[in-house]
Structure 1
Amino acid sequence: MTYVGPSASHAEKSHPTEEGTVGRATVKDVVAAYVGLTKPRVIELLLLTTIPVMFFAERGVPDVWKVLATVVGGALSAGAASAYNCVYDRDIDEQMRRTKRRALPRHVVTPRAALVFATVLAVLSTAVLWQFVNGLSAALSVTAIAFYVFVYTMLLKRRTTQNIVWGGIAGCFPTLIGWTAVTGELAWEPVVLFMVVFFWTPPHTWALALRYREDYANVDVPMLPVVAPAATVGRQIVLYSWVMVATSLLLWPVAGTGWFYPVAAVVLGAVFLVEAHRMWGRTRRSDVLSEIAPMRLFHNSNLYLSLLFVAVAIDPLIG
């Protein structure tokens, strides 16, 4: 069984010049490019873990204006972190199939303009959360941005196979922000949900990295599927999946939920574990990407997290 090894070519590559070359583009193209810098799909997923936690913290329907302010502030915060990431990673984004159509690789936006845009979003997100939610939620938002940019993007991503394990912590903060937006303080309940997202991140990201492992290899980003056989990746995905499901069940005794959440967590967890084991089985039989079909697990992971947090929101409403 073979696997993709790291490339030696990245050392010869550097970031594009600071000024860049903005090609001819319409206003619509430029607006779309700036929106793309925020990675809207990532924002959607992050908000999907924020809003249900607010329902859970309120044990009912939270104040609509508080939800709106938290959503706006959280979206701006996530967009800022993503835009900073696009600026720093523009050299490798230009060479990867999955990312080469982003704004900076296409030179629709200059690196300097993107950096200013990211900073404006970060300032606005902090101001919105501080003014209309509370200081603790704003501080958590700033911490999430800093962690994603400095710890994951700049320190871990290009240096270790554990990049998304620890770097994924940034994506767990919405659970804390949603809770503190309602209660003004931290508690064990959002910490449990924080850990669910933490253990969910490696299976989710490694499945995607399996699909694009050659891209990551070509730019010397040591994602686990780049430096390890597919069977090893499959085994790690299964291990993290089991811990994720077990952690999700902790919310039941810790928060004293009703019957709906634990039932949903068991059913969703069982479905996810079956798919994770099936993919591991495929990796043990073959290293061929088309036979492994990692995107099945990737899409399943999105559905799992979405429905689990919907259950978090519904449980107090029917309890």
Structure 2
Amino acid sequence: MALIIRSEIDKATQAITTALPWRDYYELTKPKVVMLMLLTSLIGMLLATPSPAPLWLLVLGNLGIGLCAGAAAAVNHLVDRHVDVKMARTFHRPVANGRITPTNALLFSALLGGAGLWILSSFINALTAWLTLASLLGYAVIYTLFLKRATPQNIVIGGLAGAAPPLLGWTAVTGELDGHGLLLVLIIFAWTPPHFWALALYRKKEYAKAGIPMLPVTHGDSYTRLHIVLYTVILIAVTLLPFATRMMGYCYLVGALVLGAGFLYRALKLLVSKDPKQGLETFKFSIIYLMALFVVMLVDHYLFPIPVYGA
């Protein structure tokens, strides 16, 4: 009976997927990841000037950045299709599962990337378009094709590409590079290792099976847990730089310290815990942490502008 029910469910799922192929292409863009990137991009735009940026710029800027991010994600699906089928977390992905052919995935990626770069270069500015292209290539080519399989420091080095969105948002508004915009990149760059290594701990067996040299696979759980704590301390120190440079005020300082203490508590709990699910819980908290930190930045920026822009 159970087999019959499972067979019917599979048939129904296949019928829905066939009828709605756009869902597979939507999944190809890694929408949850892109949404988080667009949140940081939008906040970069909002923090770039004392007054709100024009609505058209916010919409078109994030549309262009989002399309390019989706293009990079599609390339990741394409390149990792042989690895994805070996992991429980990713075996159902559309290219790995055969619902989208590699050729169609590549064409879809080219279409998204081309459209995104055209929007940025035509309606925003050339600097943002070039930086977005560099970020796209950094993730889709340098990280996905080379670093991911070459070194356990893959996520540390490759994390720079994923940290770019707030800077892209900043340059979309100002048209120029700025130290404060680079600080936003530095925060995400420092956040990425403890964020992703926590998930890697939880998925260690799958990464080992797929032959991906993530830190827990090459150096063990204890080593990884310790480095999550150390990188969390680095992250907390980095998040104090916006206050030290007078980009942010005391509201942000309090928020950053409280959130940092929460992240450090999670990291220390992971260090001593034997619960295999603790890595996943830390991973989930890290996402909430980053979103909350950027929201605190916005609150400080708009409600307490004098400490931010004072001489």
Normalised by the length of structure 2, the TM-score is 0.90
Q: Does 1:314 align with 2:302?
A: no
1:26–1:267: structure 2 CA closer, same or farther, 3 Å change rule? Answer: closer
The aligned residue for residue 152 of structure 1 is 143
SS in structure 2 at match of 1:99: coil
> CA shift at 1:121, angstroms?
0.6
Aligned match for 1:48, one of 31, 39, 62 = 39
Question: Identity over aligned residues, as a percent?
Answer: 38
In the alignment, the residues of structure 2 paired with residue 103 and residue 254 of structure 1 have an alpha-carbon distance, to the nearest angstrom, of: 45
What runs of 5+ residues in structure 2 fail to find an aligned partner? Answer: 1-13, 305-311
> CA shift at 1:140, angstroms?
0.7
The aligned residue for residue 303 of structure 1 is 288
Aligned residues: 291
In the alignment, the residues of structure 2 paired with residue 189 and residue 26 of structure 1 have an alpha-carbon distance, to the nearest angstrom, of: 45
Say whether the 8 Å CA contact 1:53–1:313 is kept in structure 2. no
Letter in 2 for 1:208: L
Identify, as 1 or 2, the structure richer in helix: 2
The aligned residue for residue 268 of structure 1 is 259
In the alignment, the residues of structure 2 paired with residue 57 and residue 228 of structure 1 have an alpha-carbon distance, to the nearest angstrom, of: 41
1:134–1:274: structure 2 CA closer, same or farther, 3 Å change rule? Answer: same
Aligned match for 2:27, one of 36, 40, 45 = 36
In the alignment, the residues of structure 1 paired with residue 229 and residue 51 of structure 2 have an alpha-carbon distance, to the nearest angstrom, of: 35
- C-alpha RMSD over aligned residues: 1.4
> CA shift at 1:254, angstroms?
1.7
Normalised by the length of structure 1, the TM-score is 0.88
Describe the superposition over 1:172-230 as per-residue Cα deviations: whole angstroms up to 9, x where unpaired.
11021011011110111011111110110011111111111111101110000112221
Say whether the 8 Å CA contact 2:62–2:169 is kept in structure 1. no
Q: Does 1:236 align with 2:227?
A: yes
The aligned residue for residue 18 of structure 1 is none
1:275–1:74: structure 2 CA closer, same or farther, 3 Å change rule? Answer: same
Q: Does 1:258 align with 2:246?
A: no
Q: Which 4+ stretches in 1 moved above 3 angstroms?
A: 23-29
> CA shift at 1:94, angstroms?
1.1
Describe the superposition over 1:286-313 as per-residue Cα deviations: whole angstroms up to 9, x where unpaired.
4x624xx111110110011001111122
In the alignment, the residues of structure 1 paired with residue 246 and residue 60 of structure 2 have an alpha-carbon distance, to the nearest angstrom, of: 26
The aligned residue for residue 289 of structure 1 is 276
> CA shift at 1:122, angstroms?
0.6
In the alignment, the residues of structure 1 paired with residue 105 and residue 19 of structure 2 have an alpha-carbon distance, to the nearest angstrom, of: 16
Letter in 2 for 1:114: A
In the alignment, the residues of structure 2 paired with residue 261 and residue 59 of structure 1 have an alpha-carbon distance, to the nearest angstrom, of: 16
Describe the superposition over 1:28-56 as per-residue Cα deviations: whole angstroms up to 9, x where unpaired.
44111000000001101101211111111
